[in-house]
């Protein structure tokens, strides 16, 4: 926000700021959503669901290393935030599928870009880590 805009914009009340979200504020609800999206498992589940609808067991196999408990918690958080759609079919045994909402697809593409950037730059990142481990005084 420029100095001109800041001086001409009326100050927002606390409730307006909370509705809009103030990322740098400790009480901002944006932080919880950001945590859900950018957690290790949140990113991987969102990217996995970009390709297609999945059942729980398919997601668990696709996202290597995730426990049943963490997958369930991640899916619940992403569903509560409106990113994941859970569809339960009334059959025996139970059949539940997970897919992305429109908003979920938008955010999944954003985190996919971040994941792709990390993959593309992984050799440089790993080299930097190795340099730091061998000579911690190098900045």
pLDDT in tens, the chain (139 residues): 333 333 334 566 656 655 666 777 888 888 899 999 999 999 999 999 999 999 999 999 999 999 999 999 999 999 999 999 999 999 998 899 999 999 999 999 999 999 999 999 999 999 998 888 887 665 5
Distances 82 to 37, 58, 70, 85 between C-alpha atoms, Å? 11, 21, 18, 7
Distance of alpha carbon 44 from alpha carbon 21, whole angstroms: 25
How many beta carbons lie within 10 A of that of residue 1, not counting itself?
6
pLDDT of residue 1: 38
Q: What is the pTM of this model?
A: 0.78
């Amino acid at each position: 926000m420029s100095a001109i805009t800041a001086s001409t914009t009326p100050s927002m009340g606390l409730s307006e700021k909370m509705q809009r979200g103030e990322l740098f504020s400790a009480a901002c609800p944006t932080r919880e959503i950001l945590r859900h999206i950018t957690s290790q498992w949140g990113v991987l589940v969102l990217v996995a669901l970009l390709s297609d609808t999945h059942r729980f067991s398919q997601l668990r196999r696709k996202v290597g290393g995730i426990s049943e408990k963490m997958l369930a918690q991640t899916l619940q958080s992403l569903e509560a935030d409106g990113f994941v759609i859970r569809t339960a079919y009334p059959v025996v045994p139970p059949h539940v599928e997970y897919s992305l909402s429109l908003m979920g697809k938008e955010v999944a593409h954003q985190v996919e870009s971040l994941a792709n950037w990390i993959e593309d730059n992984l050799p440089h990142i790993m080299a930097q880590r190795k340099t730091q481990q061998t000579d911690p005084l190098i900045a």
